Structure 1
Amino acid sequence: MNWYVDVLKKYAEFSGRARRTEYWMFVLVSFGVSVVLSIADALLGTSPFIAALYSLAVFIPNLAVAIRRLHDTNRSGWWLLIGLIPFAGAIVLLVFMASEGEPQDNAHGANPKQGLAY
Structure 2
Amino acid sequence: MWIIRTYIDTFRKFDDFGGRANRAEFRNFSIVSSVIQLCFPAIGVLSPVGCLLENVFSLVLLVPAVSPVVRRLHDTGTNGWLVLPGLVPFLNFLILCLLFFYYSDPYNNGYGLPPNRQAKESVPARKQV
User: Does TM, scored on the shorter chain, surpass 0.5?
Assistant: yes
Match of 2:36 among 20, 25, 33: 33
* Aligned position for 1:10: 13
Tell me what 2:71 maps to.
68
Larger of the two Rg values belongs to structure: 2
Report the counterpart of residue 50 of structure 1 in structure 2: 53
Q: How many residues align?
A: 116
> Which stretch has the larger CA shift, 87-96 or 59-68?
87-96
State, as a whole percentage, how many aligned pairs show the same letter: 30
Matches of 2:105 and 2:23, distance apart in 1: 11
Instruction: Give ranges in structure 2 of 5+ residues lacking alignment.
Output: 121-129
Task: Trace 1:76-87 onto structure 2 (pairs within 5 A).
Answer: 76-87=79-90
Q: CA deviation at 1:44?
A: 0.6
C-alpha contact 1:23 1:65 (8 A) present in aligned 2 = yes
SS at 1:27's partner residue? helix
Give every structure 1 segment of 4 or more consecutive aligned residues whose post-TM-superposition deviation is greater than 3 Å.
none
Show structure 1 runs of 5+ residues with no match: none
TM-score (ref. length: structure 2): 0.83
